[in-house]
């Protein structure tokens, strides 16, 4: 099923020169290295413990917890009049830690989405979005590095409905980088970066506020059945009123990490079924395009299913209940016995 949240393109044609694409990869690498240092400090110096004096827990789900950096209280000289213009100068910092069920391989396969089709699949597992799009693919995955990709994307955070129109939707244009690296201690560390960028073709869209973000996530297999998660996110300054609606939606997107492994499993299943279908189609021929019920093939249906597995049954001609074989029956859905 096509996910309507993933659109083909919100702008005109977007293209980058080789130099610009190299710069985008450098930006992503810089973000990864800077956050990797913080991640190692969190594990080694802080022993993986969140400082409650610095971070306030704001939401939890299963074994995942999201924290908001505590801010110093300030006296406001007057009440805000325009929630989209009354912004503070402080960046908003969030942290998400915990673990999710599954394997690192499935998590990364669920995250990587360098194409529109992949983005459609992934966005169906991410909460809080109103739209997403792939603007340009800078680096595609390879057989040797299946999770290594750099893509320029656009997404829209849906806050207008919840705020009753008081706050406009936020949209983001960003470079997304995914991949993995070997750890000195052994094992693999997966990463996922989303970092806002600007370029002329990405004009401001009507009815939306172009916002900024920088998010870096690390994933590591901690047991046979779970993956540890560490996410550090930064959002641009905003008023207290806007925060009430934007931050919860943004937090929901971070918490969607609990679904990545399942997303990866489903993507692998679809891929496996597609390959199996191609093999069976090549061996037995294409399905009956007219969905004809041919009684003479009943025995063939049963024999084939016992040999090749029940999967192939849905690709064979229709057999209607009650058909006496004297005429062909049309209609119904392919692969189903009516």
pLDDT at 45: 85
Residues 29 and 98 grouped into a single domain? yes
| CA 77/CA 235 separation, integer angstroms | 24
**Below-70 pLDDT ranges, the chain:** 1-8, 73-89, 127-128, 161-163, 287-338
56 occurs within a structural domain: yes
Residues 207 and 335 grouped into a single domain? no
Residues 196 and 102 grouped into a single domain? yes
| CA 336/CA 299 separation, integer angstroms | 16
Rounded to two decimals, the pTM is 0.75
Mind listing the pLDDT tens digit for each residue in 206-245? 989 999 999 999 999 999 999 999 999 999 988 888 888 8
| CA 249/CA 255 separation, integer angstroms | 10
| CA 338/CA 187 separation, integer angstroms | 52
Q: CA 277 → CA 174, 294, 308, 309, 332, distances in Å?
A: 37, 21, 11, 12, 21
Residues 229 and 293 grouped into a single domain? no
CATH number where 138 lies: 3.30.530.20
77 occurs within a structural domain: no
- Phi, then psi, of 248 in degrees rounded to 5: -60, -40
Is residue 148 within 8 A of residue 176, CB to CB? The reply is: no
Among 268, 301, 330, identify where a domain stops.
Answer: 268
Residues 205 and 329 grouped into a single domain? no
Among 233, 268, 303, identify where a domain stops.
Answer: 268
Between CA 179 and CA 66, with CA 32 as vertex, the angle to 5 degrees is 95
Residues 259 and 321 grouped into a single domain? no
Residues 259 and 301 grouped into a single domain? no
Number of domains in the chain: 2
pLDDT at 319: 40
185 occurs within a structural domain: yes
Name which of 51, 96, 40 is nearest 230 in CA terms. Answer: 96
147 occurs within a structural domain: yes
Q: CA 101 → CA 62, 121, 158, 262, distances in Å?
A: 10, 19, 28, 9
257 occurs within a structural domain: yes
50 occurs within a structural domain: yes
| CA 163/CA 130 separation, integer angstroms | 14
Residues 180 and 231 grouped into a single domain? yes
| CA 82/CA 165 separation, integer angstroms | 13
Residues 193 and 302 grouped into a single domain? no
pLDDT at 185: 81
Among 239, 268, 297, identify where a domain stops.
Answer: 268
Residues 139 and 59 grouped into a single domain? yes
pLDDT at 176: 95
Between CA 79 and CA 89, with CA 85 as vertex, the angle to 5 degrees is 85
11 occurs within a structural domain: no
Residues 290 and 258 grouped into a single domain? no
- Phi, then psi, of 311 in degrees rounded to 5: -55, -40
Question: In residues, how long is the chain?
Answer: 338
Residues 30 and 159 grouped into a single domain? yes
Mind listing the pLDDT tens digit for each residue in 33-45? 999 999 999 999 8
| CA 123/CA 131 separation, integer angstroms | 8
pLDDT at 75: 55
81 occurs within a structural domain: no
Name which of 2, 5, 7, 16 is nearest 201 in CA terms. Answer: 16
Q: Which residue range forms the structural domain that includes residue 30?
A: 18-67+87-268
């Amino acid at each position: 099923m096509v996910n309507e949240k993933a659109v083909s393109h919100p702008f005109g044609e977007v293209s980058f020169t080789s130099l610009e694409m190299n710069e985008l990869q450098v930006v992503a690498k810089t973000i990864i290295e800077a956050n990797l240092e913080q991640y190692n400090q969190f594990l080694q110096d802080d022993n993986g413990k969140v400082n409650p004096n610095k971070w306030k827990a704001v939401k939890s789900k299963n074994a995942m917890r999201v924290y908001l950096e505590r801010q110093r209280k300030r006296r406001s000289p007057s009440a805000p009049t325009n929630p989209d213009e009354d912004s503070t100068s402080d960046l908003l910092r969030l942290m998400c830690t915990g673990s999710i069920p599954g394997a690192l391989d499935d998590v990364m396969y669920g995250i990587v989405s360098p194409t529109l089709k992949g983005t459609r699949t992934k966005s169906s597992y991410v909460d809080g979005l109103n739209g997403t799009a792939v603007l340009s693919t800078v680096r595609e995955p390879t057989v040797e590095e299946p999770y290594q990709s750099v893509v320029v994307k656009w997404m829209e955070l849906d806050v207008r409905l919840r705020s009753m129109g008081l706050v406009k939707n936020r949209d983001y244009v960003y470079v997304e980088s995914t991949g993995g690296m070997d750890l000195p201690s052994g094992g693999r560390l997966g990463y996922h970066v989303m970092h806002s960028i600007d370029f002329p073709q990405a004009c401001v869209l009507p009815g939306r506020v172009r916002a900024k973000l920088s998010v870096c996530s690390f994933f590591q297999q901690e047991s046979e059945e779970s993956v540890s998660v560490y996410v550090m996110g930064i959002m641009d300054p905003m008023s207290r009123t806007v925060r009430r609606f934007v931050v919860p939606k943004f937090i929901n997107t971070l918490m969607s990490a609990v679904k990545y492994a399942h997303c990866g499993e489903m993507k692998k299943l679809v891929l496996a079924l597609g390959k199996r279908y191609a093999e069976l189609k090549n061996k037995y021929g294409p399905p009956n395009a007219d969905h004809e019920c041919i009684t003479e093939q009943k025995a063939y249906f049963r024999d084939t299913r016992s040999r090749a597995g029940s999967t192939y049954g849905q690709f064979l001609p229709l057999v209607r209940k009650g058909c006496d074989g004297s005429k062909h029956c049309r209609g119904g859905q392919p692969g189903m016995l009516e």
